[in-house]
Amino acid sequence: MQSVTKPKSSRSQFRVARRKVAAVDLFCGAGGLTRGLLDAGIKVVAGYDNDPACHHAYAANNHGAEFCLKSVSDLEAAELAKHYPKGYLRVLVGCAPCQPFSKYTQGQATEQDAKWGLLREFGRLVSDVRPEIVSMENVPEMQRHSVFSEFLDHLRSLGYHTSYCEAFCPDYGVPQQRRRLVLLASLLGPIELVRPKKIRPVSVRAAIGHLPELGAGEASEDPMHRACRLSPLNLKRIQASRPGGCWRDWPKSLVAKCHRTEMGKNYPSVYGRMGWDAPSPTITTQFFGFGNGRFGHPEQDRAITLREGAILQSFPEDYEFIAPGSEPSFATLGRLIGNAVPVRLGEAIGRSIRRHLEKHA
């Protein structure tokens, strides 16, 4: 359900001549949102992130977009404004780190967490640059926190029309049961996320079923199609698992002590295999580990590989995450892939912006 709000300011009547569009991606990571915008036909001129591990993936796959290694907290409006070509409509997008708002960390993160302030830094740059279009993507849980309502009020006070909704990623072609909060704002007129077409969800089988078979600890010619090793105990556990199932399917001798307690029985979504014929569970930063969720391959006795996780995030199969000859790090690449905006959702955001500009610019 879309939540659409008109601005309080007279800027609601703001109009400009039809012009070209350029975007800057804050908190760009490995480039999921940038790649989606490019696929939708929107020029992306720069991406900012403070993680040097993002550099190669971002720059190698997103021609024309400059990777800038800098924290958004240290970014000044004048530097940001220089990226936009003269005469272009300006788009500012971003996905502030979601860990403080995620259901996986609630009770552990507080409003004193430094990452909470990054959305306010985003708002500061919007104030100073006044891009025609703004978009923010994050976890749905963010809606429950005051920082989100503050961000909305801030945009409205600047004259932006705003809308936000909870997007179910399979509706946009992502082979993953991920839900995300998408906010769109415009100085030009009302804007909202394009409504999904009625499509059959992309299944795990359709997404990764064609990739070469592997055993635990093995890799193919593609260095990203690499599976984590399994301990002898976990190998027995995955062999006892069925597609779509979890540790409850095992003989009692294989069940971990923590899952035998009353509290542990409430956590079925770990040590499980994915099912073939539905989208995957949400890909987290730990998707490469069998015990970290339902991340077991549907048939092969291993967790999904780095490449499979990236494909389930709807990255192109040839997306280059590491320089040729480099040794992949599961922890680093798991973080980049799991934290990314799904590419096909990014494309939907881009199509929403284009449709809006066709009407209002």
- Residues catalogued as catalytic: 98
Question: Where do we find the tokens 């976890």?
Answer: 139
Give the span between the Cα atoms of 214 and 227, in whole angstroms: 7
Question: Where do we find the tokens 């995620």?
Answer: 102
Give the span between the Cα atoms of 154 and 33, in whole angstroms: 23
Strand boundaries in 160-210, DSSP class E = 161-168, 179-186
Q: Could you tell me the two tokens for 42?
A: 């929107």
Name residue 141's amino acid: E
Q: Closest Cα partner for 24 from 85, 97, 87, 73?
A: 85
For residue 296, give the DSSP letter: B
Which DSSP string corresponds to 110-131? -TTSGGGHHHHHHHHHHHHH--
Give the span between the Cα atoms of 226 and 217, in whole angstroms: 7
Our CA dihedral for 18, 22, 26, 32, rounded to 10 degrees, sits at 110
Q: Where are the alpha helices (DSSP H) in the chain?
A: 32-39, 55-61, 77-81, 117-129, 146-157, 204-208, 232-239, 306-312, 330-338, 343-360
Which DSSP string corresponds to 311-346? HHTT--TT---S-TTPPP-HHHHHHHHHTSPPHHHH
